[in-house]
């Protein structure tokens, strides 16, 4: 609910800038004829000299509560007030200790007498600052406190959202060690610091109040560093070196004026405070459109990151441009714009955090694809020789440690050379691919199928003894035997010969198991093919060359 303010008369002392106006003379009425009434309820500082204002109510105060005078957009503002009835001096800025007791630092607040009369003026001496009108109002203290509570909630909400995004991205950085994530984390951290000083919280609590002596420069110091990190993050996130190398070079150069501005902001004696804000606004007016163009270029070239970037930053960058125009055109700062920028920054942090998470998933997908290609046979899609031997070694070690059984099937397509010679290698490749599905359909979860070489396959069966392995092998043999295989309308009869070996006390290494399964396979071949044989310790009588 909006607080109801009363009408006020605002008058400015139209005095030469080189005239030293004495406070006692002002209060005594010496300059009453020099005050000029304004048509709007605002005070406007001068760049180079103090300005005096006289504030009066349009009618006697009739509110139930104490009246308070609020001056909004107080960044950089220092006001000395002379309040009725005694007109005791009260110097006030949001950077002073104990400022705005009971209120946030979104406004300078002065308590006025309960019985304030329209004829009793409040005199304000406004120190030099940027020449932007600062809105003023007189309301009941209770109304001002209620409205200020709403501001306090927003002061906490937006930084809290950004801190949550920072913690998530920090975890990603620690896991992936990619600098882009660190730039994002640093950018959001300094945006949060900027907001804490902008809202005044930073001037109240350790260790933030270490920068309190800088006054408004603490706001712009953190803002400048945040923009430097944003430019660096944007360059890497959008891959501008690849999509737009000239724009990338321009943004890379743009970091240095901002870094120099941050250094100047840290040394109050170099320039007036308000010049830092103007310089930062000018740099933002230049860089904001460049960032939007960078996002568009990346997006137009098919980059998903460009889409995330535009969704995240277009609202924030537009508000940044409006804020800069407000400063240069000397418009009073509207309340909605005061909170629109932090809200846009919080929104951008969430969207970019999602975009970085999407980038992480893409990296993981690429890694999984590379891992799969490294472990799987390109023709058949099953494990390649290296991978199936690795599975066999792992299963063998586990079987030795646990005492559980382990069996190995050695499979070989019968007359495969004849198929290649008769129909061509492309048909042979088709045959190899076609047997994979039927074999896999007979395996359990945890079993492993791999191509050992040529037309030979290995199947590792953890937890299976010789009898169980024989059952599995026989089902595979029958399924291949009955599998339809047509080439140019002609059926090709495919069969498998299978050798089985199981781990026992005499099997010392995985290679021993392979050799035993190979011996059993030889027995299936020499026995007429399309057979399943289990190694029984007896070696074959001879190893004549077979057309396997």
What confidence tens digit (pLDDT) does each residue in 105-121 have? 889 999 999 889 998 99
Q: Do 232 and 205 form a contact (C-beta atoms < 8 A)?
A: no
Domain for residue 371, yes or no? Answer: no
DSSP class of 376: B
- Whether 282 and 401 map to the same domain: the answer is no
Express each pLDDT in 455-464 by its tens digit. 999 999 999 9
Report the SS3 class of residue 292.
helix
pLDDT mean over 239-252: 90
Q: In what order do the strands lie in the sheet with 51-57?
A: 35-37, 8-13, 51-57, 122-126, 79-83, 88-92
Same domain membership, residue 152 and residue 98: no
Least confident of 165-174, 208-217, 460-469, 487-496: 487-496
For residue 163, give the CATH number of its domain: 1.20.1070
Using DSSP's 3-state secondary structure scheme, residue 442 falls into coil
Q: Which pLDDT band, with edges at 50, 70 and 90, does 205 fall under?
A: confident
The Cα 505–Cα 454 span in angstroms is: 31
Report how far residue 372's alpha carbon sits from residue 377's, in angstroms, rounded to the nearest whole number: 9
- Model confidence at 548, pLDDT cuts 50, 70, 90, reads low
Per the model's pLDDT, the better-predicted residue between 528 and 174 turns out to be 528
**Alpha-carbon distance 273 to 265, whole Å?**
8
C-alpha closest to that of 194 among 314, 346, 354, 353: 346
Do 188 and 305 have their domain in common? yes
What is the distance between the alpha carbons of residues 297 and 52, in angstroms, rounded to a whole number?
Answer: 52
- Residue 97 — pLDDT band, cuts 50, 70, 90? low
pTM of the model: 0.68
CA angle 47, 50, 53 (to 5 degrees): 115
Q: How far apart are CA 519 and CA 324, in angstroms?
A: 83
Whether the per-residue pLDDT at 1 is higher than 50: the answer is: no
DSSP state of 17: T
Tokens in use for 88? 């005791």
Which long-range contacts link 502-505 to residues 24+ away (Cβ below 8 Å)? 502/405, 502/406, 502/407, 502/408, 502/464, 502/465, 502/466, 502/469, 502/534, 502/535, 503/396, 503/399, 503/400, 503/405, 503/406, 503/407
How distant, in Å, are the alpha carbons of 77, 159, 207, 528 from that of 221?
17, 18, 16, 86
Task: Please indicate, yes or no, if residue 542 is contained in any of the structural domains.
Answer: no
3-state secondary structure of 520: helix
Report yes or no on 89 lying in a domain. yes
Does residue 395 sit in the same domain as residue 428? yes
Best-predicted range by mean pLDDT among 17-26, 90-99, 208-217, 487-496? 208-217
Q: What is the pLDDT of residue 5?
A: 72
Structural domain contains residue 380: no
Contact 286, 278 (CB under 8 A): no
Query: Residue 419: pLDDT above 80?
Result: yes
Residue 545: what pLDDT? 42
356-373 pLDDT tens trace: 888 777 777 767 666 777
* pLDDT attached to residue 17: 64
What's the CA gap between 288 and 352, in Å, rounded? 17
Q: Which tokens in the block code for residue 202?
A: 């930073």
- pLDDT over 50 (residue 544): no
Query: Are 27 and 94 members of one domain?
Result: yes
Residues 167, 136, single domain; the answer is: no
Say yes or no to pLDDT of 56 above 60: yes
Query: Do 205 and 351 fall within a single domain?
Result: yes
- Do the Cβ atoms of 139 and 70 come closer than 8 Å? yes
Distant-in-sequence, close-in-space partners of 368: CB < 8 Å, separation ≥ 6: none
- Helix runs in 136-215, H state only: 141-176, 179-198
CATH of the domain at 492: 3.30.70.270
pLDDT at residue 123 in the model:
95
What is the band of 488 on the pLDDT scale with cuts at 50, 70, 90? low
Higher pLDDT: 53 or 168? It is 53
Give the CA distances from residue 378 to residues 166, 366, 385, in Å, rounded to whole numbers and listed in that order.
41, 17, 11
Judge whether 7 and 38 are in contact, CB under 8 Å: no
Query: Does the pLDDT at position 215 exceed 70?
Result: yes
The verdict on residue 128 lying in a domain is yes
> Are 261 and 130 found together in one domain?
no
Q: DSSP 3-state assignment of 46? A: coil
Query: Does residue 327 sit in the same domain as residue 415?
Result: no
Name the percent of the chain lying above pLDDT 70: 93
Q: Which domain holds residue 345?
A: 148-362
Q: What is the pLDDT of residue 542?
A: 45
Average pLDDT over residues 21-34: 89
Is residue 343 within a helix (H) or strand (E), and if so which, with residue range? Answer: helix 335-375
Of 118, 145, 172, the residue at which a domain comes to its end is 145
Q: Do the domain assignments include residue 410? A: yes
Neighbouring C-alpha atoms within 13 Å toward the C-beta of 300: 9
Write out pLDDT tens, residues 281-294: 999 999 989 999 99
For residue 31, the domain's CATH number is 2.60.40.2380
Mean pLDDT of the chain, nearest integer: 87
Q: Looking at the 3D structure of the chain, how many domains does it have?
A: 3
- Residue 441 pLDDT exceeds 50: yes
Task: Answer yes or no: is 452 within a domain.
Answer: yes
Residues 395 and 415 in one domain: yes
Do 210 and 314 lie in a common domain? yes
Q: Are 448 and 390 in contact (CB under 8 A)?
A: no
Of the residues 84, 112, 145, which one is the last residue of a structural domain? Answer: 145
pLDDT at residue number 541? 42
Residue 123 domain-assigned?
yes
298-356 pLDDT, tens digit per residue, is 888 888 888 889 999 899 888 988 988 988 888 888 888 888 888 998 998 889 888 88
Residues 168, 161: contact at Cβ < 8 Å? no
pLDDT at residue 370 in the model: 67
pLDDT number for residue 18: 59
Domain-terminating residue out of 105, 120, 145:
145
Long-range pairs for 481-488: beta carbons < 8 A, 24 or more residues apart? 481/530, 483/434, 483/435, 483/438, 485/431, 485/434, 487/423, 487/427, 487/430
Peptide bond into 285 cis (omega under 30): no
Three-state DSSP state, 98: coil
Residues 402, 516 within the same domain: yes
Range of weakest confidence among 3-12, 42-51, 72-81, 410-419: 3-12
> How many CA atoms, within 13 angstroms, populate the side-chain half-sphere of residue 82?
18
Number of H helices, E strands in the chain: 14, 17
Gyration radius (Cα) of the chain, Å: 40
């Amino acid at each position: 609910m909006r607080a109801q303010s009363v009408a006020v008369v605002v008058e400015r002392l139209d005095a030469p800038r080189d005239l030293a106006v004495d406070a006692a003379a002002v209060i005594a009425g010496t300059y009453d004829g020099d005050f000029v009434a304004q048509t709007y309820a605002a005070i406007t500082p001068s760049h180079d000299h103090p300005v005096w204002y006289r504030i009066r109510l349009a009618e006697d105060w009739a509110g139930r509560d104490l009246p308070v005078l609020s001056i909004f957009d107080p960044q950089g503002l220092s006001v000395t007030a002379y309040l009725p009835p005694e007109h005791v001096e009260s110097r006030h800025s949001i950077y002073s200790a104990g400022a705005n007791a009971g209120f946030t630092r979104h406004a300078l607040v002065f308590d006025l007498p309960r019985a304030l009369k329209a004829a009793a003026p409040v005199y304000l001496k406004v120190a030099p600052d940027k020449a932007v009108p600062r809105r003023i109002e007189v309301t009941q203290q209770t109304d001002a406190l209620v409205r200020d509570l709403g501001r306090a909630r927003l002061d906490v909400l937006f930084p809290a959202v950004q801190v949550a995004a920072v913690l998530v991205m920090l975890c990603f950085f620690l896991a992936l060690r990619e600098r882009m994530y660190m730039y994002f984390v640093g950018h959001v951290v300094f945006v949060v610091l900027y907001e804490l000083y902008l809202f005044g919280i930073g001037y109240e609590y350790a260790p933030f109040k270490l920068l309190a002596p800088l006054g408004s420069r603490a706001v712009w110091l953190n803002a400048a560093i945040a923009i430097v990190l944003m430019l660096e993050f944007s360059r890497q996130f959008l891959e501008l070196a690849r999509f737009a190398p000239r724009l990338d070079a321009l943004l890379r150069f743009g970091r240095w004026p901002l870094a120099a501005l941050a250094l100047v902001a840290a040394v109050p004696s170099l320039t007036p405070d308000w010049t830092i804000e103007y310089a930062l606004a000018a740099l933002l007016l230049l860089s904001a459109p460049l960032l939007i163009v960078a996002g568009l270029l990346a997006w137009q070239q098919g980059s998903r990151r460009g889409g995330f970037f535009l969704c995240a930053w277009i609202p924030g960058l537009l508000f940044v441009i409006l804020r800069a125009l407000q400063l240069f055109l000397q418009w009073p700062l509207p309340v909605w714009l005061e909170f629109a920028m932090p809200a846009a920054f919080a929104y951008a942090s969430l969207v970019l955090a999602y975009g970085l998470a999407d980038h992480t998933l893409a990296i993981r997908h690429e890694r999984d694809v590379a891992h799969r290609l490294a472990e799987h046979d390109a023709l058949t899609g099953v494990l390649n020789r290296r991978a199936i031997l690795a599975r066999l070694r792992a299963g063998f070690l586990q079987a030795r440690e646990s005492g559980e059984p382990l069996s190995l099937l050695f499979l070989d397509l019968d007359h495969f050379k004849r198929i290649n010679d008769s129909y061509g290698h492309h048909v042979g490749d088709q045959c190899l691919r076609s047997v994979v599905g039927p074999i896999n359909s007979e395996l359990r979860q945890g079993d492993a199928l791999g191509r050992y070489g040529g037309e030979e396959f290995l199947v590792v069966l953890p937890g299976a003894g010789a009898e169980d392995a024989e059952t599995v092998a026989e089902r595979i043999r029958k399924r291949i035997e009955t599998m339809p295989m047509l080439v140019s309308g002609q059926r090709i009869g495919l069969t498998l010969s299978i050798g089985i070996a199981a781990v026992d006390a005499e099997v010392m290494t995985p290679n021993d198991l392979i050799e035993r399964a190979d011996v059993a396979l030889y027995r299936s071949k020499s026995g007429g093919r399309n057979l399943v044989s289990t190694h029984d310790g007896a070696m074959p009588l001879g190893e004549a060359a077979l057309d396997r």
